[in-house]
Structure 1
């Protein structure tokens, strides 16, 4: 069995608001990699006892915590749906999404054309 046949379908979708399973931050998904797509250095910087497997979807988030906004790259195993119904305050949200509807961000038409 090759790596391609082991790729799982992503559990979360672009526009969904998620929170980290362990760390106190949340965000909106703006892109999905079917498997790990960051650098080897980034992956090795994660402590080995919490380092995720590479053969799962990874999500690009416009993220926020109590102090700041930033971009995050998170494995599927470390995400949960955020049901707080609170908007994400990251400044890039308004450039990628047209608005928030029923707890999910709608991708801007500008990105679809």
Structure 2
């Protein structure tokens, strides 16, 4: 993704967010400028909560009180998480460095 494509995104990679409706939170690891999943996935969302396709969507290392998983969430359904509570998703350590202020910084990618 280029900087031009993500400059319109409200949230950034490494930011901790929570879902507006469902009880989960996590750290963003990828942003796409608009819906890029399957039609089956989209149609499985109840119509009354189905998000618009023409907005950024985020891949999140998500967790709730029961488990950790990867979530794909529309921008309209995310809020900043300012709780300061630590995240426990096992993949966070592979992708991010935790900074002293509690924020996540993507690890440098090795170029081959």
Both structures adopt the same fold (TM-score exceeding 0.5): yes
How far is 1:107 from its partner? 0.6
Q: Does 1:108 align with 2:112?
A: no
Matching residue of 1:40: 39
Name the SS of the counterpart of 2:28 in structure 1.
Answer: strand
1:86 Cα deviation from its structure 2 partner: 1.6
Give yes or no for contact 1:83–1:103 (8 Å, CA) kept in 2: no
Single out whichever of 46-55 and 91-100 deviates more from structure 2.
91-100
Q: In the alignment, what sits opposite 1:77?
A: 76
Could you tell me which runs of 5 or more consecutive residues in structure 1 were left unpaired when the two chains were aligned. 1-6
What's the C-alpha RMSD, in Å, of the aligned pairs? 1.6
SS in 2 for 1:38: coil
Distance in 2, matches of 1:22 and 1:58, equals 16
Aligned to 2:62: 63
Runs of 5+ consecutive residues of structure 2 not aligned to the other structure? 1-5
Distance 1:52 1:82 in 2: 20
Q: List 4+ stretches of structure 1 deviating above 3 A.
A: none
Match of 1:3 in 2: none
Alignment size in residue pairs: 106
